[in-house]
Amino acid sequence: MRGIVTIDGPSASGKSSVAQRVAKALGVPYLSSGLLYRAAALLALRAGVDLGDEEALLPLLQASRVRLLPGEENRVLAGEEDLTPHLHTPEVDRVVSQVARHPGVRSWVNARLKEVPPPFVAEGRDMGRAVFPEAPHKFYLTASPEVRARRRAKERPQDYEEVLRDLLRRDRLDQAQTQPAPGALVLDTSAMTLEEVVAWILGHLQD
């Protein structure tokens, strides 16, 4: 496979798991843009920076020497520290949208992603629309909030109702960024298994 495949969608739509499986089937790396936004949020929390202050956030990120290591499992390093084990927590979940809405932070994340040479499968909120508009293969996965909350609750130390509230709040904050790219194939995964979604995407890539 040559070129770029983008898989976008809202939180807990299954795009990370799907992107991993699709990339493995194609024999190429996958890129998780969300991990970079989570890394930015984690660094801001650690530094006690005002999450609404873009001018304070950007120097912190630029000095952090963050880089994304793509592969079957993505890792994010800040200097020599592996941030990956600390990125999927309720604390980061609740603030990552506040960090991601800053244009400067988005530019910083996009620059890290564009450091990786294709081919690859990139997943996120706006990979096909804003980051890799030249990608020949674009997909957008969605699912009902209730289904997405049940999926996320299996990964977090929170009950379903709390996860659903957090997810709906994040949907509102992410609305501007989370839209299908022009020409993207849209799929509602609510009633589908992971294997079915992967097969659907691979089928379209082989057409």
**Domain that residue 73 falls in:** 4-206
pLDDT in the model for residue 1: 62
pLDDT in the model for residue 8: 95
Sheet bearing 120-124, strands edge to edge: 30-32, 120-124, 4-8, 137-142, 185-188
* Domain of residue 124, CATH code: 3.40.50.300
For residue 114 the two structure tokens come to 């564009």
pTM of the model: 0.84
27 contacts 10 by C-beta, under 8 angstroms:
no
pLDDT in the model for residue 189: 94
- Given a cut of 90, is residue 172 above it in pLDDT? no
Q: What is the pLDDT of residues 133-162, one digit of tens each?
A: 999 999 999 999 999 999 888 888 788 999
Q: What is the pLDDT of residues 70-116, one digit of tens each?
A: 877 899 999 999 999 999 998 998 899 899 989 999 999 999 999 89
CA distances from 40 to 47, 64, 69, 91, 193 (A): 11, 9, 15, 13, 31
17 contacts 141 by C-beta, under 8 angstroms:
no
Q: How many structural domains are present in the chain? A: 1
For residue 203 the two structure tokens come to 């089928």
